[in-house]
Amino acid sequence: MLSPFDIAHAADFLTARGLGDGPYQIKKLAGGYWNDVLKVSNPSGTYVVKCYRSVLKDSLFPNLPDAEAAALQRLYGLNVAPEPLAFWPDEGILVYGYVEGQVWQDDLVGMANLLRRKEAANAHGFRVVPITNEGILLEGDALFARCTRDRIVSAFQTGRPSPFATPTPERLSLIHTDIGATNLIGHGEDLRLIDWQCPAMGDLAEDVYSFLSPAFQILNLCQPLSEAARGQFFEALDMPRVKQRYHALEQAFAYRMAGYCCLRYQTVGDSDIAVRDRYIRAAEAELERIKGL
């Protein structure tokens, strides 16, 4: 696998594979918890080179290079994701067009419109994720079972939401599953959703949850959205059935995400105190959200 810190190697690799001649300007991009990402510019243009790494085993957010490459191809032309350029599965390297713009801040209408545009994509062929209350809770159970029992884990296991029947989604969607603010670049009709390494065929309500979730906001160094902002988002989305499913499944999604956060802060330990503390705050925020529903 190509190391992004070896700039000379990166330039040689890209030239040999036909991505244009130098001179290259190569910069490591910040953001993300797992993969190494480079911003590369040469006379041919500016693009992103993603180098995949191993993630936490049986993670809620698997690292799937083939699926990300397929998702970018499936979304091409919908003004949703970056433009796919090249993929070398043996090296674990994906190249796509660089998206200019700022990280998402408060463009609720732009986000709602992006999700509506994304619904035009065909989800067939991607991994299938649970769409029922009980199925989502069981995934959360499996995550909590890997955790050491502490104050936060005990609170969730004691207050585990009860399963109940939920309405069936009108259709299964190509979902991103990890819509944090740092995965949203641009504004308005130019807003794009990046980092598609864990796409799935599932419920659009799951993407809505990840965008509105206080845990996702905290992990992306943002403040949780207010109730007023949530209302504005749903008004712009104008998909009543999706809103209904979101409210029906929110506790289950929160429980599952909290299981992931607890496992992560216990896995990270003291090796990165800032990241560990961020996961603790994210888990606690989901606990408060569940209590308030």
Mean pLDDT of all residues in 117-132: 97
* Tens digit of each residue's pLDDT (9 = 90 or more) over 135-151: 999 999 999 999 999 99
Round the average pLDDT of the chain to a whole number and report it. Answer: 92
What is the dotted CATH code of the domain comprising 108-292? 3.90.1200.10
Q: Which of 39, 110, 105 is nearest to 80 (CA)?
A: 110
Two tokens at 168?
A: 């069936």
Cβ atoms of 198 and 35 within 8 Å: the answer is no
Q: For the chain, give every domain's residue range.
A: 7-97, 108-292
Q: Is 2's pLDDT higher than 70? A: no
The pLDDT, as a whole number, for residue 254 is 98
The pLDDT, as a whole number, for residue 14 is 84
Q: Which of 108-117, 183-192, 266-275, 277-286 is least confident?
A: 266-275
Q: Is 4's pLDDT higher than 50? A: no
| DSSP bridge partners of 45 | 42
Whole-model pTM: value is 0.94
Confidence of residue 32 (pLDDT cuts 50, 70, 90): low
Strand locations in the chain (E): 25-28, 36-42, 45-51, 84-88, 93-97, 173-175, 184-185, 192-193, 200-202
* Tens digit of each residue's pLDDT (9 = 90 or more) over 51-100: 888 777 888 999 999 999 999 999 999 999 999 999 999 888 999 999 99
Ranked by mean pLDDT, the top range of 219-223, 249-253, 268-272 is 249-253
* Residue 271 parent element (H or E): none
Out of 3.20.20.150, 3.30.200.20, 3.20.20.70, 3.40.50.11540, the CATH code matching 7-97 is 3.30.200.20
User: Higher-confidence residue: 262 or 4?
Assistant: 262
